[in-house]
Amino acid sequence: MTTDANKPISIKVEGWRGISHSYSLVNQFQILHWSRSGLARLQHVDMPFIMPHWSNGENSAGFDEQDQTLIENISQDITPEAVYRIFAPFGLDTPVELPTLTFAVTEFGLSSGNYSQSAVDTYAARGGLIHTPSQWSKRRLIANGIPEGIIHVVPHAADAKYFFPMDANGILHNRRTLGFAEDDVVLLNVGTHHWNKGLDVLLKAFAQARKRNPRLKLLLKDQRSTYLMNSESFVQQTLTEIGMNDADTMAAIRMVPGPMTLAQLNCIYNLADFYLTPYRAEGFNLPALEAQACGTPVIATAGGATDDFLSHPANRLISGRLHENQKLKDDLPVNAYIEPDVDELIAVLSAAERAARPTSVGQRMDWAGVGRLLCGILRGARSGALEPLVA
């Protein structure tokens, strides 16, 4: 006997596809696994990108050909029973005519220019729900006026097809290909140099730690294809400001060009000895989760979004000081961030060495599990009919 809970739910997905941006990657992994699992039948509506150059085809998400074909052809002719939205800025001002779940994630807080409290109140009154991936993001949404009762925390995942521990020979080969010696201690960060990511903190700590640990090497990912950011110039400028742009330090920093395939990303996660992310504020931090799935220990800021999943003892959390409602930007009056302790980070990096990789990264969520949870939320929303608005 087939129950309603076992029947595929017909979902209209409004979101981004085809690019290497966190919203787009999350959406593509979710729709892949919704489709494969038979949990949902999908109609996909591509929403406008916020940066015009993303449409030029030079910022691929990096899926293999089979998955890319499925993603591109996933939309079906259905009558939607529910709506899932995942694009920026998130649209709570859109009328809620079906059970609706909107992905909303924030690092610091919400920009007052992108939403209004009246729109939030109307969205909630019509039964609209929010999907956010971390407890940190949930707290920031609540602080900015989103009702706690409509927020559902469902984490992201690391796809085992793409992110997995490689064997020692493969790791050694890839390290040699990029010019790393066997005893080099390779630190990796694939994020941007937006202030919340803490790349300035990372660079300053790395340069100082190399005085005591000269085997340290740093591998960064170029961000021109996604954000038109010149990461090389940022590195040079940051180290110049602290008087540590000497030839030896600069030679210890390498940049991998982008965009990368997910298979290539798996290779660099694996060849690193540590994934290093001393962030000030993150909504989730998908690279930290993916690196951990590859068996690579993570060094991250304590107290932030990654507390939800960095529980493995091989990881190292750096303490920091919480700042709230600082003057960051005029349209961001309610905010929070953590300033990581750079001296503690320097000490950790100074003592970092090559070590046996953990045999297990602990329990992890998979994208099929994420899909089940999201379908459950939408099914629950369907059980209550939307009442007409009363003027």
Peptide bond into 89 cis (omega under 30): yes
pLDDT tens digits for 335-357?
A: 999 999 999 999 999 999 997 77
pLDDT tens digits for 181-224?
A: 999 999 999 998 899 999 999 999 999 999 999 999 999 998 76
307 in the same domain as 227: yes
pTM flag (> 0.75) = yes
3-state secondary structure of 241: helix
93 in the same domain as 142: yes
Does 163 fall in a domain?
Answer: no
236 in the same domain as 139: no
- If one counts the domains in the chain, the total is 2
139 in the same domain as 14: yes
Does 114 fall in a domain?
Answer: yes
174 in the same domain as 95: no
For residue 97, what are the domain limits? 4-157+366-382
d(CA 207, CA 185): 14
CATH assignment of the domain containing 263: 3.40.50.2000
221 in the same domain as 81: no
129 in the same domain as 31: yes
Three-point CA angle 15, 223, 279, nearest 5° = 85
Peptide bond into 214 cis (omega under 30): no
CA 355 to chain centre: 27
150 in the same domain as 48: yes
pLDDT higher at 5 or 11: 11
204 in the same domain as 111: no
Does 162 fall in a domain?
Answer: no
Does 356 fall in a domain?
Answer: no
Does 389 fall in a domain?
Answer: no
Residue linked to tokens 């369907």: 382
Least confident of 70-79, 299-308, 380-389: 380-389
Helix axes 22-37, 65-72, angle to 10 degrees: 90
